[in-house]
């Protein structure tokens, strides 16, 4: 079981890392402090920060953390395990790093300092991390009362200038050492970014050896010795922009897309953008300069790609810009939204902010207001999103310069180099404008390859994968299939819900020829995904495949409903399906059920799956929530080959 547990930790760490922003790798450090250690060491002073564990421990872990961050919660839960596992060998130091978009994180830090003044920091810390989703003013007070703190002193201390200065000192120190998100750890000065349990343990084991060697030499405080020559601040390594592939993609321009520039321009840029995305705002400045430098030589087509799952105002902003386009004022609205992004992004109600600033808008407000709510505008934005999805785009900004894909807000120089290359190519051709662009992209690739770090993670579309099946998976469809689809999915993932519906519609259409095999791949940062997988697996074990897929349909269609109080909801779904909750609950708790889900997770790791959903159609891989047409095309091609 211990080996299984460690294997699962490693797989979850890989999956989790794939879903985070790209991280900076620390620079190499020439000084090894007698450790033969090539990793950078940072001189992170403990100062007056609170800590647990012996002061002379071989390893000191400094944690810059946020009381509202779910990843911080996961990391501090793991810290409890580490402190027990390496009892006496680890000192754990806590530093405050409340993130600006977590509105209650800083008040929580102030309250924790106030509790510390009464000797109750760790108890208060435990209560805050017990439920990071409910860090409220009411709970800050309630926790203090539960710990029997002197409430007058608590309230005075948490609002004092001294407390604010203490928290700010941690923030300033963290920023100096390159902390950009939480949690960020320094293990004997070695930076570990994110909730990466396996990475943490690797570094700790290495540093225990380093620290104990120093103690054996008579050094009383190994941490001070290790960091004494460490870096005094984080300097991001200078990186050249990645080379832009010569591959051409078939990035069609929607008929309704706003266009800027000369009709006969030799270079066409198709820009997929999100008005709430800070990187899109950064690219806006670059594009304004390109418009000036390449007037008459480039034209720009704008396509909306609001990432609504985490940019809550992006879709409304897209609708506003589309409505402005009806009045011939798209590019003016485009500039307005990006130049004011920091202002409207701080508000809770985008539409209320827009109405408040209606006199500043570059188009008639009453007409905008009416058009924003129209079905026609909603359809335009929806069609843009579909176009982006069909191209395989998952983030913004994304640009296609004469069909060549540029991911992210690359520097102005990178775009200039690319445009200059395309101008030279265009000079050799007789076509111009739209005719030239259509000629360039006509044989282009249909979808963008996945990216890994700064490089494209190209997958061979013809590669046949061997997916290990246990024979215990839930199965639906044909008993004598020409096509077998193996699905790896996560019940809490919104993209999986979309893909599940798509694939089921395809299977229904081809039910005499296609079989679906379902495998669970719950991601570590979806807290309720594994309980949902165990619940569905228990239904399968007790009641068979048909009931499994009925339960799966409920889980996917009601994701938001069971995100909280999942067990209570699972019980109600059981009753709805006419099943026995007591039996299902007992079955879900069995080691055999856990092992079956774990086996699916291991196979996902063996196949190097970085995310979900993922499908294998007769062994050929399809990643992500792709349109039904892609599955249809592949299935029909296979069936045709077998006739």
Which of residues 206, 227, 248 is at a domain's end? 227
At residue 26, the pLDDT reads 30
At residue 324, the pLDDT reads 96
At residue 121, the pLDDT reads 97
Residue in the block written with tokens 């699972």: 570
At residue 9, the pLDDT reads 40
| pLDDT surpasses 60 at 487 | yes
Which of 272-286, 336-350, 456-470 shows the lowest per-residue confidence on average (mean pLDDT)?
456-470
**Are 48 and 154 members of one domain?**
yes
Instruction: Determine phi and psi for 543, rounding to 5 degrees.
Output: -125, 0
**Are 160 and 305 members of one domain?**
no
Question: pLDDT: is 464 or 122 the higher one?
Answer: 122
| pLDDT surpasses 60 at 597 | yes
Chain-centroid distance, C-alpha 298: 33
**Are 223 and 289 members of one domain?**
no
- 130 in any annotated domain: yes
Give the rounded percent of residues in the chain with a pLDDT score beyond 90.
Answer: 70
**Are 207 and 267 members of one domain?**
no
Residue in the block written with tokens 């770090």: 453
What are the strands, taking DSSP E only, across 194-265?
Answer: 259-261
Give the rounded percent of residues in the chain with a pLDDT score beyond 70.
Answer: 91
At residue 340, the pLDDT reads 94
Helices (H) and strands (E) in the chain, counts: 25, 17
**Are 442 and 581 members of one domain?**
no
**Are 88 and 134 members of one domain?**
yes
Q: What is d(CA 284, CA 476) in angstroms, rounded to the nearest whole number?
A: 48
Cα–Cα nearest to 402, from 551, 245, 569: 245
**Are 495 and 390 members of one domain?**
no
| pLDDT surpasses 60 at 451 | no
**What stretch of H or E contains 62?**
strand 59-65
| pLDDT surpasses 60 at 27 | no
- 463 in any annotated domain: no
**Are 90 and 143 members of one domain?**
yes
Number of domains in the chain: 3
Cα–Cα nearest to 75, from 185, 179, 204: 185
Supply the range of the domain harboring residue 158: 12-227
Two structure tokens written together for 332: 């003016």
At residue 13, the pLDDT reads 39
- 238 in any annotated domain: no
At residue 361, the pLDDT reads 95
The per-residue pLDDT for range 92-129, each reduced to its tens digit, is: 999 999 988 888 999 999 999 999 999 999 999 999 99
Instruction: Determine phi and psi for 505, rounding to 5 degrees.
Output: -65, -35
Provide the pLDDT confidence category of residue 37 given band limits of 50, 70 and 90: very low
Question: pLDDT: is 66 or 460 the higher one?
Answer: 66
**Are 79 and 162 members of one domain?**
yes
Taking the whole predicted model, whether its pTM rises above 0.85 is answered as no
Q: What is d(CA 142, CA 222) in angstroms, rounded to the nearest whole number?
A: 40
Compute the average pLDDT of residues 495-507. Answer: 91
Task: Give the chain's end-to-end CA distance (angstroms, integer).
Answer: 48
- 5 in any annotated domain: no
Contact between 82 and 200 under an 8 Å Cβ cutoff? The reply is yes
Two structure tokens written together for 360: 């500043």
- 250 in any annotated domain: no
**Are 348 and 278 members of one domain?**
yes
Q: What is d(CA 186, CA 203) in angstroms, rounded to the nearest whole number?
A: 10
**Are 367 and 480 members of one domain?**
no
Average pLDDT of the chain? 88
Provide the pLDDT confidence category of residue 308 given band limits of 50, 70 and 90: confident
Instruction: Give the length of the chain.
Output: 643
CATH number at residue 595: 3.40.30.10
Provide the pLDDT confidence category of residue 20 given band limits of 50, 70 and 90: very low
The per-residue pLDDT for range 164-217, each reduced to its tens digit, is: 999 999 999 999 999 988 999 999 999 999 888 888 889 999 999 999 999 999
**Are 418 and 542 members of one domain?**
no
- 469 in any annotated domain: no
At residue 304, the pLDDT reads 95
Provide the pLDDT confidence category of residue 22 given band limits of 50, 70 and 90: very low
Compute the average pLDDT of residues 9-13. Answer: 40
Q: Around 307, how many Cα atoms within 13 Å sit in the side-chain half-sphere?
A: 17
DSSP letter assigned to residue 242: P
| pLDDT surpasses 90 at 261 | yes
- 107 in any annotated domain: yes
- 236 in any annotated domain: no
| pLDDT surpasses 90 at 332 | yes
At residue 461, the pLDDT reads 63
Cα–Cα nearest to 450, from 638, 632, 614: 614
The per-residue pLDDT for range 53-96, each reduced to its tens digit, is: 999 999 999 999 999 998 999 999 999 999 999 999 999 999 99
Q: What is d(CA 15, CA 200) in angstroms, rounded to the nearest whole number?
A: 16
| pLDDT surpasses 80 at 15 | no
For residue 381, with 0-12 CB atoms within 10 Å meaning exposed, 13-18 middle and 19 or more buried, which class applies? buried
């Amino acid at each position: 079981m211990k080996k299984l547990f460690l294997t699962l930790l490693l797989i979850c760490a890989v999956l989790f890392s794939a879903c985070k922003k790209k991280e900076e790798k620390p620079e190499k450090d020439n000084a090894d402090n007698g450790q033969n250690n090539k990793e950078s060491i940072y001189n992170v002073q403990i100062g007056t920060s609170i800590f647990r564990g012996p002061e002379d421990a071989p390893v000191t872990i400094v944690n810059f953390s946020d009381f509202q961050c779910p990843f911080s919660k996961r990391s501090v839960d793991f810290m409890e395990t580490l402190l027990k596992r390496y009892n006496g060998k680890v000192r754990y130091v806590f530093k405050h790093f409340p993130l600006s978009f977590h509105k209650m994180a800083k008040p929580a830090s102030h309250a924790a300092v106030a509790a510390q003044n009464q000797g109750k920091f760790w108890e208060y810390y435990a209560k805050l991390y017990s439920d990071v989703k409910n860090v409220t003013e009411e709970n800050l007070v309630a926790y203090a009362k539960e710990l029997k703190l002197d409430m007058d002193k608590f309230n005075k201390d948490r609002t004092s200038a001294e407390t604010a200065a203490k928290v700010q000192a941690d923030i300033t120190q963290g920023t100096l050492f390159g902390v950009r998100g939480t949690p960020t750890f320094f293990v004997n000065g070695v930076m570990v970014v994110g909730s990466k349990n396996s990475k943490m343990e690797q570094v700790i084991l290495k540093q225990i050896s380093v620290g104990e060697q120093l103690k054996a030499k008579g050094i009383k405080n190994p941490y001070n010795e290790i960091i004494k020559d460490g870096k005094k601040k984080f300097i991001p390594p200078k990186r050249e922009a990645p080379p832009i592939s010569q591959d051409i993609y078939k990035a069609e321009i929607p008929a309704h897309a706003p266009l800027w520039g000369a009709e006969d321009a030799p270079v066409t840029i198709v820009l997929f953008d999100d008005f709430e995305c800070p990187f899109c705002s950064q690219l806006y400045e670059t594009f304004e300069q390109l418009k000036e430098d390449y007037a008459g030589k480039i034209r720009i087509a704008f396509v909306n790609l609001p990432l609504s799952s985490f940019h809550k105002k992006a879709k409304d902003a897209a609708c506003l810009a589309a409505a402005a386009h009806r009045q011939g004022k798209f590019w003016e609205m485009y500039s307005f939204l990006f130049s004011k992004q920091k202002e409207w992004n701080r508000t809770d109600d985008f539409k209320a902010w827009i109405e408040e600033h209606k006199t500043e808008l570059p188009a008639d407000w009453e007409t905008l207001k009416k058009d924003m709510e129209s079905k026609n505008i909603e359809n335009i934005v929806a069609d843009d999103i579909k176009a982006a999805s069909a191209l395989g785009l998952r983030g913004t900004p994304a640009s296609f310069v004469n069909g060549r894909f540029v991911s992210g807000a690359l520097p102005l120089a990178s775009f200039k180099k690319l445009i200059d290359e395309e101008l030279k190519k265009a000079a050799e051709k007789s076509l111009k404008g739209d005719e030239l662009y259509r000629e360039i992209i006509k044989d282009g690739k249909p979808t963008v390859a996945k990216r890994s770090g700064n490089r494209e993670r190209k997958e061979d579309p013809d590669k046949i994968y061997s997916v290990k099946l246990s024979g215990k998976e839930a199965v639906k469809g044909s008993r004598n299939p020409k096509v077998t689809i193996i699905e790896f999915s996560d019940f809490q993932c919104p993209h999986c819900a979309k893909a599940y519906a798509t694939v089921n519609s395809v299977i229904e259409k081809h039910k005499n020829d296609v079989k679906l095999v379902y495998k669970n791949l719950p991601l570590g940062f979806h807290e309720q995904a594994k309980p949902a997988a165990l619940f569905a697996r228990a239904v399968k074990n007790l009641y068979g495949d048909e009931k499994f897929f009925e339960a799966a349909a409920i889980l996917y269609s009601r994701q938001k409903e069971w995100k909280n109080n999942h067990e209570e909801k699972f019980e109600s779904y059981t009753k709805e399906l006419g099943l026995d909750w007591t039996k299902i609950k007992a079955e879900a708790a069995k080691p055999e059920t856990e092992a079956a889900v774990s086996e699916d997770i291991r196979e996902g790791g063996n196949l190097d799956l970085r995310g979900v959903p993922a499908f294998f159609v007769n062994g050929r891989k399809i990643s992500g929530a792709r349109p039904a047409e892609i599955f249809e095309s592949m299935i029909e091609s296979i069936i045709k080959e077998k006739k």
